[in-house]
Structure 1
Amino acid sequence: MQCVKEELKDIICNYFTLSIPTHLCAFNTLECLGNLPDSASKVASSKYKFVCGTNLLSGNMLHRTNQWDINILNCKPIVGSILVGVGGAPKSRLVYKETLQKGFV
């Protein structure tokens, strides 16, 4: 994370940054189905959402050792995320397609 923050410093230096662990469920599925609570709505309205982590993408999103704890029901706050230094085997295209930012390479 230190290296990623160093590489992104020109982009994030003027913004408040928040780090959320990817291996824990950050947002309650029931809350994400309706109106988002304040904490999740702040994340949802963030200008940039960077997701970092090696082997983060999983071919089986229902597996207990899934590195990134998201699914189609709780991904609403992180729609528009940008992957940085992420690898894995993306077979769960529906959630990734819905969640990830399409305009950045």
Structure 2
Amino acid sequence: MIKSLLTAAAAAGAIALIGAPAAGAVTNAEADYLKDLSGAGIAGDQAALVADGWTICKALTGGANPNDLSQTYFTNSGSISHAQADAAVNFAKTDLCPAG
């Protein structure tokens, strides 16, 4: 199961590279997530970044290890540091995931 979730995270990362279509209005939680990512030096297509965040939440809810998700995010992004990948997972957890 975790492998399929990580595959989903990889797919979401790939969407960020090709540019996802603009989604509907950004929620307050998503705006907070994007602000936190920006503060950590992570930039890109906002819709794709939000999709990545929700994918992280789904993976965490499914029992994925945050460290494994961070490593996958780092590997698939090709443009962020390990620390930024850790931050992205933590921001998703605190800003987006229902359990916080």
- For normalisation by structure 2, the TM-score amounts to 0.30
RCO higher in 1 or 2 (8 Å CA, sep ≥ 6)? 2
Q: For the pair shown, which has the larger CA radius of gyration, 1 or 2?
A: 1
Looking at secondary structure, tell me which structure has more strand per residue.
1
